[in-house]
Amino acid sequence: MTELFSENYARSQDASDPLRTLRAEFHIPLHGGTEQAYFCGNSLGLQPKGARAMVEEVLDKWAHDAVEGHFREPAPWMPYHALVREPLARLVGAHPTEVVAMNSLTANLHLMLVSFYRPTRERPAILMEAGAFPSDHHALESQVRFHGFDPDTDLIELQPDEADGTFSMAAIERAIAEHGPRLALVLWPGVQYRTGQAFDLAAIAQLAQAQGAICGFDLAHAVGNIELSLHDSGIDFAVWCHYKYVNSGPGAVAGCFVHERHARTSRPRFAGWWGHEQTTRFRMAPEFTPTPGADGWQLSNPPILGLAPLRASLEQFDRVGMPALRARSERLTAYLESLIRGQLSETLQIATPRQPERRGAQLSLRVAGGHVRGRALFEYLAGEGVLGDWREPDVIRISPAPLYNTYADVLRFARAVDAWRAHNR
């Protein structure tokens, strides 16, 4: 244990890591003149140095070409969103026509629900997790009401069955079987934001679809964090954001996946001109013919300045590849876990599952003594330049992001907790 707790160990692991050079591609925030140990990639990823050039390219084109920027090379704005299509598809394991970058996560969730939540008197219900991210709850509840149904009976919230607030697959299976004939939709997270638990998308989708329900996912904490094979998993739709592990900036343009089997669906949708079939879009006719695939759910011409940083981050993911990143992520999180279990277990209890396939980068840590001590530790860490994030009532989330975090960062966190503990017994 003491060896793991030594700077020599952390330094040698960093020096021999095949992905060690990636950190230099990011702006690392400073704290009192030295680099912060930044563990908030699950909230807002750091800025890739390449993002500025992408944004400046758009500003320059706007300055020089104005409206003609829509057509002028390089990177004309008219097909600009198509520049991110293929790398995005590779990132989430989808066919290019199954993904689109547009809007924000909650807006995309509503657009998906309009098409894929079609409740009937016999089948009105949605199954979701209790304790979901509030925006998902608001979206689902408002959709249930919008269709004239009652959230008290038709928005079913499954309580976690495991001690740490996590779910066993058996509990999910039982709930889907129990409510099956009444289920119109199952909406589940890819990685749960509070506990960091990762789920088996294909298994959940199979169970839901076997009951005749649609299955969609919120992948906010999964994209850029765990390996995804959205097409093969057979899920119906997914939505996510790009400002967390995908490092595309605050409020970045979000993502959306619609499985190929729905590419030419006649389901109702809320339409806009950018979803209209491309070859006839500029005839400006009133009839709407959707572009096949995910593009057909677009509403407006995209915010080019918002899409620009996404190009820079997707280039990094494409170059490194999720398998290598995920392997490094597992190494860093395992190191964090061994330091906590080996040395800090009186102070921190890990709520995230132990098995690597049941979690992503993040460990959610409950501080012994509850809210007051938890908050005190969180603030002490911030004062030491170690930034995690806080989730009420007593959870500190620490997410070593494999693109820029290091063993040295992880050790710095553990040592800071150790120092705090020594003075706050």
Ligand X SMILES: Cc1ncc(COP(=O)(O)O)c(C=O)c1O
Give the per-residue contact string, 233-252, with ligand X (x = CB under 6 A; - = no): --------x-----------
Q: How far is the CB of 197 from ligand X (least distance, A)?
A: 12
Q: How far is the CB of 252 from ligand X (least distance, A)?
A: 9
- 380 Cβ neighbours under 8 A, 6+ residues apart: 416, 420
Q: Between residue 286 and residue 345, which ones bind ligand X under the rule CB under 6 A? A: none
Give the per-residue contact string, 182-201, with ligand X (x = CB under 6 A; - = no): -----------x--------
Q: What is the DSSP letter of 69?
A: G
- Decide whether 135 or 265 has the Cβ nearer to ligand X: 135
Closest Cα partner for 358 from 197, 204, 247?
197
Q: How far is the CB of 187 from ligand X (least distance, A)?
A: 11
- Decide whether 42 or 329 has the Cβ nearer to ligand X: 42
Report the alpha-carbon angle 422-424-425, nearest 5: 80
Q: How far is the CB of 139 from ligand X (least distance, A)?
A: 9
- Regarding 144 and contact with ligand X (CB under 6 A), the answer is no
Closest Cα partner for 239 from 190, 277, 192?
190
Of 135, 289, 338, 349, the residue at the interface with ligand X (CB under 6 A) is: 135
Q: How far is the CB of 12 from ligand X (least distance, A)?
A: 35
Contact 101, 307 (CB under 8 A): yes
- Label the pairing between strands 395-398 and 255-258: unpaired
- Regarding 105 and contact with ligand X (CB under 6 A), the answer is yes
- Regarding 221 and contact with ligand X (CB under 6 A), the answer is yes
- Regarding 106 and contact with ligand X (CB under 6 A), the answer is yes
Virtual torsion, Cα 265, 266, 267, 270, nearest 10 deg: 100
Of 136, 154, 295, 409, the residue at the interface with ligand X (CB under 6 A) is: 136
Task: Measure the CA–CA gap between 232 and 236, rounded to whole angstroms.
Answer: 11
The residue assigned the tokens 């400002």 is 243
Task: Report how many residues bind ligand X under the rule CB under 6 A.
Answer: 12
CA-CA-CA-CA torsion sign (380, 384, 390, 395): negative
Task: Measure the CA–CA gap between 58 and 60, rounded to whole angstroms.
Answer: 5
- Decide whether 106 or 247 has the Cβ nearer to ligand X: 106
Q: How far is the CB of 424 from ligand X (least distance, A)?
A: 30
Q: How far is the CB of 249 from ligand X (least distance, A)?
A: 12
Burial of 113 (0-12, 13-18, 19+ CB in 10 A): buried
Residues that bind ligand X (CB under 6 A): 104-106, 133, 135-136, 193, 218, 220-221, 241, 254
